[in-house]
């Protein structure tokens, strides 16, 4: 059996979309599972939609996601170049070959004429399609027009009858009758190919064995198969993936939430979490399990277990997965991931100190960014207290109690975890009150909030001086 080769072929029109990430991921996982190659190819054949920096952005985002390609831009293999705008000659040659074999023809129709016939067809409730006027042109007529430099495109000839059968790995057999297919433009007047020509030519030349792409491509697949047949090439295996959806089941779009991988990156989601989540949107192993590392996904993934129905992108599960994956990370790794942020806002604290806060926060963090946003009390004295925290943790007798606790702590020489805890416990026994009655206001005073890790751990970490000064400050203010 030939080597498995898959590709991800985005157009550089902006940022990497989570739907694109999933397509890339499935291609990557399938290739790696089968000891194959994964290729990145840039489909920049629409000159009007190019976005500057999009290619670099795509590459760096894929890199962040841990999806490494074996061949592609910046990683030249034997099948390059991997950017379609650098392969124009190849497409032209192939389009001309189709003309020679009479599988394609020059079309000189203007945009105006095309617009008119389309408008009329829509008005008459007919399927809009090219009326094949230029398909009838004689060789002489064509040569004449070509000689006069008349603007033209090349269209593929669709057989007037018959049908095309697609064997799709996820969808089974799907057939289309040729009659409803349009004579698609394959080479534009600017000399660039359209998607249809470019994919087929490149997938063949790059020896792609499996075309794994979004379901939106299913309807144009018969045209691609026709092209393979015209060229006399072997047809790759197809797998059309179900779409990712908004909450209202429409195709996932910007309007209804974040769709750029970068958005999730910025929000503090781990690469592992996003991959894990997205892998499960449309694929599931045969057993009950939700948490997977990239390595595990590589071992488990099969196209046979990809589902057919669209999946709503629901952030809640992603958040939960993120929490799970964060807890598996080493403290050092978390520090590394956040280093630039720590450098920015925590520059006067040592790595050792920050690692200790990470340890304390790790079990209760949802996003990576929480290590920074929900940890201010480790680094700064609280200046004011939220109403909610006060009403929950500060009772009428709290002030008196905290004054007593303050005295105890002032006299405590060995300010260690066990002693801090023991001192407070002893006081509660002495006063015959429940321990929580002391702990809650104490937490408020030293952290300014009513949530977080064990107060004793916080107290030990920030140290005796801070504890005392924060208590005094709070006692004055509250």
Partner RNA sequence: GCGCCCAUCGUCUAACGGUUAGGACACAUCCCUUUCACGGAUGUAAUACGAGUUCGAUUCUCGUUGGGCGUACCA
Q: Are strands 185-187 and 153-156 parallel, antiparallel or unpaired?
A: antiparallel
Choice between 76 and 433, CB closer to RNA: 433
Among positions 319-348, residues that touch RNA (CB under 7 A) are 319-320, 323-324
Residue 415, interface with RNA (CB under 7 A)?
A: no
What is the nearest approach in angstroms of RNA to the Cβ of residue 288?
Answer: 4
Interface size with RNA, residues (CB under 7 A)? 84
Residue 373, interface with RNA (CB under 7 A)?
A: no
What is the nearest approach in angstroms of RNA to the Cβ of residue 265?
Answer: 20
Among positions 284-323, residues that touch RNA (CB under 7 A) are 284, 286, 288, 290, 305, 307-312, 314, 316-317, 319-320, 323
| Cα separation, 273 vs 271, whole angstroms | 5
Torsional class of 14: left (φ above 0), alpha (ψ -120 to 50), beta (otherwise)? left
Options 85, 220, 293, 416; binder of RNA; rule CB under 7 A: 220
| Cα separation, 27 vs 32, whole angstroms | 9
What is the nearest approach in angstroms of RNA to the Cβ of residue 1?
Answer: 26
Give me the catalytic one of 120, 179, 249, 254. 254
Enter the tokens of residue 448.
């300014």
Long-range contacts of 411-419 (CB under 8 A, 24+ apart): 412/464, 415/459, 415/460, 415/463, 415/464, 415/467, 416/460, 417/456, 417/457, 417/460
Q: Are 213 and 171 in contact (CB under 8 A)?
A: no
What is the nearest approach in angstroms of RNA to the Cβ of residue 198?
Answer: 7
Among positions 382-411, residues that touch RNA (CB under 7 A) are none
Q: What is the x/- site pattern for RNA, positions 184-203, by CB under 7 A?
A: xx--xxx-x-xx--------
Q: Are 307 and 282 in contact (CB under 8 A)?
A: yes
Among positions 432-461, residues that touch RNA (CB under 7 A) are 435-436, 439-440, 443, 450-456
- Whether 97 sits among the annotated catalytic residues: the reply is no
Residue 363, interface with RNA (CB under 7 A)?
A: yes
Enter the tokens of residue 86.
């650098």
| Cα separation, 447 vs 459, whole angstroms | 9
Q: What is the x/- site pattern for RNA, positions 60-99, by CB under 7 A?
A: ----------------------------------------
Enter the tokens of residue 344.
């920015």
What is the nearest approach in angstroms of RNA to the Cβ of residue 470?
Answer: 16
What is the DSSP code (8-state) at residue 296? H
Residues that are catalytic:
254
């Amino acid at each position: 059996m030939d080597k498995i080769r898959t590709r991800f072929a985005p157009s550089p029109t902006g940022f990497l979309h989570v739907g694109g990430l999933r397509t890339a991921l499935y291609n990557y996982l399938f290739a790696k599972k089968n000891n194959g190659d994964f290729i990145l190819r840039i489909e920049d054949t629409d000159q009007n939609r190019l976005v500057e920096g999009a290619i670099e952005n795509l590459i760096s985002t894929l890199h962040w996601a841990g999806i490494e390609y074996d061949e592609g831009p910046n990683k030249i293999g034997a099948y390059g170049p991997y950017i379609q705008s650098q392969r124009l000659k190849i497409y032209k040659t192939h389009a001309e070959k189709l003309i020679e074999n009479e599988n394609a023809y020059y079309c000189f129709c203007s945009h105006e004429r095309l617009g008119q016939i389309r408008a009329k067809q829509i008005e008459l409730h007919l399927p809009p399609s090219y009326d094949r006027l230029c398909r009838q042109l004689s060789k002489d007529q064509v040569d004449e027009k070509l000689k006069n430099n008349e603007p033209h495109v090349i269209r593929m000839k669709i057989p007037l009858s018959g049908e095309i059968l697609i064997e799709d790995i996820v969808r089974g057999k799907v057939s289309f009758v040729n009659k409803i297919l349009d004579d698609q433009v394959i080479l534009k007047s600017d000399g660039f190919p359209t998607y249809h020509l470019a994919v087929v030519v490149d997938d063949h030349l790059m020896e792609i064995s499996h075309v794994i792409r979004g379901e939106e491509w299913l309807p144009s697949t018969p045209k691609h198969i026709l092209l393979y047949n015209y060229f006399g090439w072997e047809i790759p295996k197809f797998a059309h993936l179900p779409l990712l959806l908004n909450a209202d089941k429409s195709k996932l779009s910007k309007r209804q939430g974040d769709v750029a991988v970068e958005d999730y990156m910025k929000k503090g989601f781990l690469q592992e979490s996003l991959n894990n989540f997205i892998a499960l949107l449309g694929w599931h192993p045969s057993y009950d399990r939700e948490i997977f590392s990239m390595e595990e996904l590589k071992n488990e993934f099969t196209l046979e277990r990809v589902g057919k129905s669209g999946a709503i992108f629901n952030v809640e599960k992603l958040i939960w997965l993120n929490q799970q994956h964060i807890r598996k990370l080493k403290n050092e790794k978390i520090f590394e991931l956040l280093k630039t942020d720590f450098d920015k806002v925590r520059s006067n604290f040592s790595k050792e100190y920050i690692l200790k806060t990470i340890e304390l926060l790790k079990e209760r963090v949802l996003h990576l960014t929480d290590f920074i946003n929900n940890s201010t009390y480790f680094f700064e004295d609280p200046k004011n207290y939220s109403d909610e925290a006060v009403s929950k943790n500060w009772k009428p007798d709290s002030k008196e109690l905290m004054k007593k606790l303050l005295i105890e702590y002032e006299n405590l020489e060995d300010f260690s975890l066990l002693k801090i805890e023991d001192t407070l416990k002893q006081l509660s026994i002495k006063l015959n009150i429940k321990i929580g009655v002391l702990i809650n206001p104490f937490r408020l005073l030293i952290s300014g909030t009513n949530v977080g890790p064990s107060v004793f751990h916080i107290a030990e970490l920030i140290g005796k001086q801070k504890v005392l000064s924060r208590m005094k400050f709070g006692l004055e203010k509250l």
